[in-house]
Structure 1
Amino acid sequence: MRELSLNVMDIAQNSISAGASLIEIEVAEDIGEDVLKIRVTDNGCGMTPEQVQHVIDPFYTTRTTRSVGLGVPLFKMEAEMTGGSFEISSEKGKGTSLCALFKLSSVDMIPLGDIGGTVQLLITCNPKLDFLFTRSYRGAGEDRREFTLDTRELRQVLGEDVPLDAPDVVLWIRDYLAEQTEELLNTNHD
């Protein structure tokens, strides 16, 4: 994939297929440590240790629409190609967590892409599911800054009569993610 945000989309789709009702996506960029961490955690059906081993095999898939599953193995390979690492843990009946660390300065580092747009699309296309998105950034010599978007809190504010895929809500989510990302990455903090 040409952008890491597309990997996140694929991993989140796996979580949705696994019956998750809550998907947590964390993107943490640390310039001083030269690391980008992407973690996706869900409360889906989880996997056995044998299934976890199969998931990182690019020639294995549970899908019937294509013969190989490349999402997780590709995510793992992209992290490791930068000198980073990849971990997956899962427990049957409890959920799955994937964490990829990327070395930002690596020549093999691919762009993060539009992670805000990815999160907005996931929420809009799955309005009955909950998402917790956390994005953090720490520049060289700076304090860590972060923001979150939690659809459970959004539902409390909106009330149960307003779905997350209502046009005004979709626009608000888009604008909130764009504004928060711009502020987060703005290096002119006082």
Structure 2
Amino acid sequence: MGKTSSMYKTADVIIFNTAHWWTHEKTSKGEDFYQEGDYVHRKLSADEAYHKALTTWGRWLDEHIDSSRTTVFFRGYSWSHFRGGQWNSGGSCDGETLPIVDDKHLAKYPNLLNILELVMSEMKTPVLYLNITRMTDYRKEAHPSMYRFPETKRRVVKSQDCSHWCLPGVPDTWNELMYAMLLKRLRR
């Protein structure tokens, strides 16, 4: 968990998230990329590495967090909506003006979240799971896309940001859900 992990031990609320980064090309290839202790794995699938990382995270929480004092959140995977390639290969989401309204256009639930849910089920520390994945899948029109650039510098062929979110927008909904979960926990 790093040198700063001691600061988390007495926090009132801790919010974790990971997954999106695990889908990037360099991570998913799994070659000479993952280190466990002093050992660097020559080849390891992203799913297996993700499971190992989350197991380490869960073990750290179970050993160091007092759940009567600290509320732990895990915010799930935030969807991206690239069409025609990824962020660095011509993918785009510009021109989207409406959310997805037909469930048949939604993506398959990512295996990374099945791994997360398995790890959380094996932990003794309760984790409030803010599962935003399906919700964000509907919102293909809510990314900065090419509109993150001033109008004079916009180019459809430039790399586009179809994995982050416009503000105000989708992240505000995450905050409202988290706030409601905190209020519910405080009322117990």
Pick the structure with greater CA Rg: 2
The verdict on a shared fold, with TM-score over 0.5 as the criterion, is: no
**Which TM-score tier does this pair reach, normalised by the shorter chain?**
0.3 to 0.5
Q: Which has the higher helix share?
A: 2
TM-score between both structures, scaled by the size of structure 1: 0.34
Q: Which has the higher strand share?
A: 1
TM-score between both structures, scaled by the size of structure 2: 0.34
